[in-house]
Amino acid sequence: MTVTLPLSVAMAAAPVSVDMIVHGRYVVTMDKTRPVIDNGAVAVRDGVIVAVDTAEKITAAYSAETYVAGDDRILMPGLVNGHTHTAMVLFRGMADDLALMPWLQNYIFPMEGEFVDPDFIETGMQLACMEMIKGGTTSFVDMYFYPDRGADVIEKCGLRAVMAAPSIDFPSPGFTGWDDSFAAAVKFVKERKSKSGRVIPAFAPHAPYTVSAEHLAEVAKVAKELDVPISFHLAEDRAELTQIKERYGSSPVLHVANQGMLDSKLIAAHVVHPTDEEIKLLADHKVGVIHNPTSNLKTAAGVAPIPQMVEAGVVLGLGTDGAASNNDLNMWEEIRLAALLHKGVQYDATLMPAEVVLDMATRGGAEAAQLGDLVGDLVVGKRADMIQVDITGAHMTPLYNVISHLVYAVNSNDVVTTIVDGHVLMQDRVLKTLDGEKVRAKANAIAAKITEALKKKAAAE
């Protein structure tokens, strides 16, 4: 049991023993009451934050087994990637410059059917975890096949995730259709929910155009009974709007609302094409909406009305989507693009200020991903998921405003330390939980087989 003393009491007594103290020249807490602390520190015991204050006060009140120095570094919450398909890093660059539906139907679905198996998932997940740890992402929402194998990799690599088991109405890797895929998803959720760990199970019916209305209603009902999240593609593309209108006489958002989906712990990815009425509906139901600017631009899905969602009070996060449609898992790119894109599209430089966008990648993103009780800001009682960002680079000099630099100047290579649950996963850019060379070798071996399959496909066309 973790006992936290008021800092004034702790300072008056002998130093209290903790597991770790992490310093930062600037500590960006994402706590609205004290967003930035100059020369700050965080004390951690049993994976939980027990104190956040100036370094002087923390070191006077606490002694630690491990000290992580923070001179010339920003200490901040780890980034939250609210929507991705991690193992799809093995399809990175496989098919580019295509509209969403042809990309899915002509390349992704066929290649998944041929290559995705448990070993593919393990290697792809390891490669993705490497990329995320090195880029400062500490939590993510995953939607992909063989979630058991993926969850095991996450536990070993040290990250935190909402792992959503996919279900779809037609054959997919390992399944013949809806009945067996949804049965497997229910089994996964129940079994993983009974375990303590950094993986939270969830359901993932793919999208309203690949899952029938009755099956969406079934997922909503079971997810509510089991009290777990649903990760879901929603209103992503104009072709989706046309299909749902033709099938059901409705828009995607109103259609899934009719199936009870908005009454669940819904994590809705993309939401590029909602109406003003639907934006209010999403806000009222506290749906977590995940903005994926890079992926939506690359597939020409459009530009989501995020400023309007901010004004309406929608719970918003950021995501990369899978590396097959991005082509990376770099959350810093999503942060910067989210801050710039809407200014240009709507001709208003005051839209999406840096503080709002950084919140979408941390505190707000955690809330949208159903992780808000655990992570997202550096406050007492939250899990110790945090990163250090180096500020000695030329592109980080001079530094007038820390939040501005985190949104407009930082890149993934500036992340030097990644900590999850009080465990160091990377220090001074050195990975602690994964062997990068072995993972890359396995990934390249799989890629060689995919390359041959693509050559055969091209020859047959």
Q: What is the pLDDT of residues 242-287, one digit of tens each?
A: 999 999 999 999 999 999 999 999 999 999 999 999 999 999 999 9
Average pLDDT (144-150) is 96
Q: Where in the chain is the domain with CATH 3.20.20.140?
A: 79-368
Span 16-77+381-431 CATH architecture: Roll (2.30)
Average pLDDT, the chain: 95
Could you tell me which of 181, 203, 162 has the C-alpha nearest to residue 366? Answer: 162
Task: Detail the residues annotated as belonging to a binding site.
Answer: 83, 85, 112, 206, 233, 236, 321
- Residue reference for tokens 């009491």: 9
At residue 432, the pLDDT reads 97
Cα–Cα–Cα angle for 305, 237, 277, rounded to 5 degrees: 45
* pLDDT in the model for residue 461: 82
Look up tokens 């089994």; give the residue. 187
Q: Which residue has the tokens 């200014």?
A: 343
Lowest pLDDT segment from 8-17, 69-78, 406-415: 8-17
pLDDT at 2: 44
Q: Which two tokens stand for residue 114?
A: 């041929």
Is the predicted pLDDT of residue 3 greater than 60, yes or no?
no
pLDDT of residue 12: 54
Q: What architecture (CATH level 2) is domain 79-368? A: Alpha-Beta Barrel (3.20)
Q: What are phi and psi of 347, to 5 degrees?
A: 55, 45
Residues making up the binding site for substrate: 112, 206, 236, 321
Residue list for the binding site for Zn(2+): 83, 85, 233, 321
Question: What's residue 249's pLDDT?
Answer: 97
- Give the residue-averaged pLDDT of 47-58: 98
Entry field: residues in the chain: 461
Mean pLDDT of 139-158: 97
Q: What is the pLDDT of residue 237?
A: 94
pLDDT, tens digit, 9 for 90 and up, residues 210-254: 999 999 999 999 999 999 999 999 999 999 999 999 999 999 999
Give yes or no for residue 436 having a pLDDT over 60: yes
Place of tokens 């570094």: 73
pLDDT in tens, 89-144: 999 999 999 888 899 899 999 999 999 999 999 999 999 999 999 999 999 999 99
Q: What is the mean pLDDT of residues 154-172?
A: 97
Give the chain's radius of gyration (CA, Å).
22
What are the Cα distances from residue 173, in Å, to 110, 114, 117, 391?
10, 8, 7, 44
pLDDT at residue 53 in the model: 98
What single letter denotes the amino acid at residue 282?
L
Mean pLDDT across 41-65 = 97
- Per-residue pLDDT at 196 exceeds 80: no
Q: How far apart are CA 237 and CA 250, in angstroms?
A: 15
Q: Residue 9 above 70 pLDDT?
A: no
**Residue of higher predicted confidence among 13 and 378:** 378
Q: What confidence tier does 304 reach under pLDDT thresholds 50, 70, 90?
A: very high
Long-range contacts of the stretch 278-283 (C-beta < 8 A, 24+): 278/235, 278/251, 278/253, 278/254, 279/305, 279/308, 279/309, 279/312, 279/314, 280/312, 281/253, 281/254, 281/257, 282/253, 282/309, 282/312, 282/314, 283/309, 283/312, 283/313, 283/314, 283/315
- Is the predicted pLDDT of residue 10 greater than 70, yes or no? no
Q: What is the pLDDT of residue 58?
A: 98
pLDDT level of residue 1 (50, 70, 90 thresholds) = very low
The ranges of the chain annotated as CATH 2.30.40.10 are 16-77+381-431
pLDDT value, residue 7: 56
Average confidence (pLDDT) over 53-63 = 97
